[in-house]
Amino acid sequence: MMRDLFKTLLIALAALAAGTTLAPNWVSSEGRAAQAETSSPVRILALGDSLTQGFGVPPGMDFPTRLERALKARNLAVTVINAGLSGDTSTGGLARLDWSLGDASNRPDAAIVELGANDGLRGLPVAAMEKNLDAILAKLKARNIPVLFAGMKGPRNFGGQYAADYDAVFPRLAKKYDVLFYPFFLEGVALDRALVQPDGLHPNPRGVDAIVTRITPLAVQLVQQAQKQRAGSPAQQGKQAK
């Protein structure tokens, strides 16, 4: 028995000398699962339209990919899931939310919601857009998923009242659900020809990076909220108590 103990000690010392950490064999399978859960990357669902999807930019230059890179540069373990769909409205985003969230085993830890631009471009009823976005935020809150909510500015060609009503939706919902809020997703980009594509609507690669630079501080807070939520989840507490 002493010989086996001595052999185990030598193996452990050799592993430490090589810079390797050995998980003790007395750690339960539940404990190993808990360690994996707390150390696994924070999964962020980016739910949006073409601005999220990356319309017109080369592969790897879309918003989710560039944001993931920016967060990793800050030593944050994250995976940003591209759930952007070109042409999508708030109605479409709501319709596919449950599918995007998946089941409890692979549900994202946090979400970025960027929807409403196409509602405005098409002059769709503001009240309907607000109802849809409200439902999206309510579903995410019910699942204890922290949210970074991105606002949009309404088009001015449908009249001043439409624009005013549209613009008011986003801060109102952000306050109602007490979520992180980025008032205008295209801030600093929308009116800069050097940062948008020829259509004047979608950001080019430089524009995407400009958005990422501006929104990253809030995204860092989102990751921190998700980490805190994960650490305090009943499932995780139950594993730690075993």
Q: What is the DSSP string of 63-86?
A: HHHHHHHHHHTTT--EEEEEEE-T
CA distance 52 to 62: 7
Mean pLDDT value across residues 55-79: 98
Of the candidates 51, 107, 122, the residue with the CA atom closest to the CA atom of residue 84: 51
pLDDT at 4 over 60: no
Among 4, 29, 105, 199, the active-site one is 199
User: What pLDDT does 149 receive?
Assistant: 98
Mean pLDDT value across residues 165-179: 98
Q: What is the pTM of this model?
A: 0.81
CA distance 211 to 68: 13
Mean pLDDT value across residues 100-107: 90
User: Quick one: what percent of the chain has pLDDT higher than 90?
Assistant: 77
Among 49, 50, 62, 90, the active-site one is 50
Structural domains of the chain, ranges and CATH numbers in brackets: 41-241 (3.40.50.1110)
pLDDT at 55 over 70: yes
Question: pLDDT tens digit string along 130-167?
Answer: 999 999 999 999 999 999 999 999 999 999 999 999 99
Active site residue 50: yes
Active site residue 28: no
Which two tokens mark 157? 């060609």
Q: What is the dihedral of CA 216, 222, 228, 231, to 10 degrees?
A: -100
The separation between CA 111 and the C-alpha centre of its own chain, rounded to angstroms, equals 4
DSSP label of 172 = H
Q: 189-196: long-range contacts (C-beta < 8 A, 24 or more apart)? A: 190/153
pLDDT at 106 over 70: yes
C-alpha atoms less than 13 angstroms from C-alpha of 96 in its C-beta half-sphere: 16
User: What pLDDT does 105 receive?
Assistant: 84
pLDDT at 17 over 70: no
Among 49, 119, 202, 209, the active-site one is 202
User: What pLDDT does 211 receive?
Assistant: 98
Question: pLDDT tens digit string along 203-221?
Answer: 999 999 999 999 999 999 9
**Burial of residue 69 (number of CB atoms within 10 Å: 0-12, 13-18, 19+):** middle
Active site residue 49: no
User: Which of 14-18, 65-69, 187-191 is predicted least confidently?
Assistant: 14-18
